[in-house]
Homo-oligomer: A and B are copies of this chain.
Amino acid sequence: MKPERILFIVLDGLGDHAYRELDGLTPLEKASSTGLKRLKENGSQGLMDIIAPGVPPSSDVSHLVMFGYDIEREYFGRGPIEALGEGVELEEGEIAFRGNLATVRIENGYPVVVDRRAGRIGSEQTRELTGFLNEELGEFQGFRVRFQPLSEHRFVMVVSGEGLSHEVTDNDPHAEGKPVILCQPVEEARDREGAERLANLVNSITLEAIRRLSRHELNRIRAEKSLQEANAILVRSPGVKRRMASFREKWDLNAACVAAGLLYKGIGRATGMDIYRVEGANGLLNTNIAGKLSKALELLEKYDFVYLHFKGTDVASHSRNPVAKYEFIQRFGENLRLIDESVLTDTTIVVTGDHTTPCDRGMHSGEPVPILVSSGGLRKDDTGVFSEREAARGGLGRMRGCELMQVLLDSIGRTVEYGTRPSPKRVNYMPKQLAYLRLKEV
């Protein structure tokens, strides 16, 4: 039986460098003799530049590119995607920012950030304060403003109205001890006037929010208790909600998502996947690997495409801990025994990262990610174990992120020959809606 469905596993930030504490191996190399070996023997590996060599991608862009979306045309910014991941409903055209309640002190008239999370203020107080902001600022200078509380100090700020463009900077300095940034149009704004309008609006909202939150009863009580006052809002990652083609519309695939991190659930929701939760899945190093993998395997019974995301690898990378990263991949690799032979035969299984996050750098690099495609529908290469080094001579060669979906569709026989058609596009001579010629009189 030829493969007819796809299990797409992302180990976030998978690519890495070699470390002395891992016997001169990368975290992946050291864990590659686990169940990953069996997958490798059933397929080919390669290196993939998500965007282009040397360009470090952000996670949202990276996933959308690998899923075959045209970022220039279809991407609408991280704010709305994270909001979707949190279950926030957005209308088309609404602009969404991720936000934090924060603590500032005023120095020479400048609000300077003391705590970006207002002493990690609890969800209940955040609900109360965002409710207050909605009452005070809900209709503001002719625009609609809405604060939706999330967990702890987090919220989503949604702005809408005529003539706004989302192409503005954060006001969040992303560091403590720094003043709040003046929101401005980004340099490459296409709708500069709309961006100016939104930037002014954000600056006014920020000033008003500081003024009003500072006088709020709740902050008086927090001050008395020597808690950080939630006397400011920091907003970031603006984006505008636009309609995005679903996986079904784009690829004619029925898709499901198993992820814990909100960005990844957001990507799933934005691309029209069904989102599934798993007990003990938390987007951390101690997540329930077996539970997530089992759920994904179960979903393959009714979906054509299952996206399974693990964040642990990236968590370890950002905390510059190659041993923790190796141990996570090792545990993941051992759990691959849950995949039985029949699944190996009838499923194309991808294991890759959304970007390289080397532990010695602690942030995304522009190096390509290693990718492994196990599939009965594709050629097998003669490389050894799955690793960054072996991948450099693998049968998949050096590919681009935007090319991946086509390779996967081909592996399950879902491609149409290019050419032999009136137009050299992927058009079939057969009309989509078959109709038949009928004789008028016989």
Contact = CB atoms under 8 A, between A and B. Distances in A.
A252 B1 CA distance: 49
A59 to B, nearest CB: 8
B364 A57 contact: no
A358 B376 CA distance: 12
A415 B379 contact: no
B203 A106 contact: no
A181 B435 contact: yes
Interface in A388-438: 388-389, 392-395, 397-399, 403-411, 413, 415-425, 427-432, 434-438
Contacts of A56: 410, 415-418
Contacts of A324: none
Interface residues of A, number: 112
A434 B210 CA distance: 20
How many monomers of this protein are in the complex?
Answer: 2
Contact of A367 (B26, B170, B410, B419): B410
A167 interface: yes
Contacts of A54: 403-411, 415
Interface stretch (A134-142, A234-242, A281-289, A305-313): A234-242
Given A54-B409, A437-B111, A239 B170 contact: no
A392 B397 contact: yes
A206 interface: yes
Nearest to A378: B367
A420 B237 contact: yes
Q: Is the interface of A mostly helix, strand, loop or mixed?
A: loop
A126 interface: no
B403 A53 contact: yes
Contacts of A111: 437, 439
A62 B417 CA distance: 11
Nearest to A440: B207
A169 B430 contact: yes
A162 interface: no
Contacts of A128: none
A211 to B, nearest CB: 8
Interface string A137-175: 000000000000000000000000000001111110000
Given A410-B55, A439-B110, A78 B207 contact: no
Nearest to A263: B420
Nearest to A178: B436
A418 B59 CA distance: 9
A423 B167 contact: yes
A340 interface: no
A127 to B, nearest CB: 26
A381 B377 contact: no
B419 A60 contact: yes
A347 interface: no
B109 A424 contact: no
A418 B58 contact: yes
Contact of A395 (B378, B389, B405, B429): B389
Nearest to A53: B403
A77 interface: yes
Given A367-B379, A406-B55, A62 B419 contact: yes
Given A54-B415, A61-B419, A188-B425, 6 more contacts: A17-B379, A52-B403, A71-B424, A237-B429, A239-B422, A366-B415
22 contacts: A17-B378, A54-B407, A54-B408, A55-B410, A58-B420, A109-B439, A111-B439, A170-B430, A179-B436, A184-B435, A186-B421, A186-B422, A187-B427, A188-B427, A189-B423, A211-B439, A358-B379, A365-B378, A392-B394, A393-B393, A397-B397, A398-B398
Interface of A: 2, 15-18, 26, 47, 51-62, 71-72, 75, 77-78, 106, 109-111, 166-171, 179-184, 186-190, 203, 206-207, 210-211, 236-239, 356, 358, 361, 364-368, 377-382, 388-389, 392-395, 397-399, 403-411, 413, 415-425, 427-432, 434-440, 442
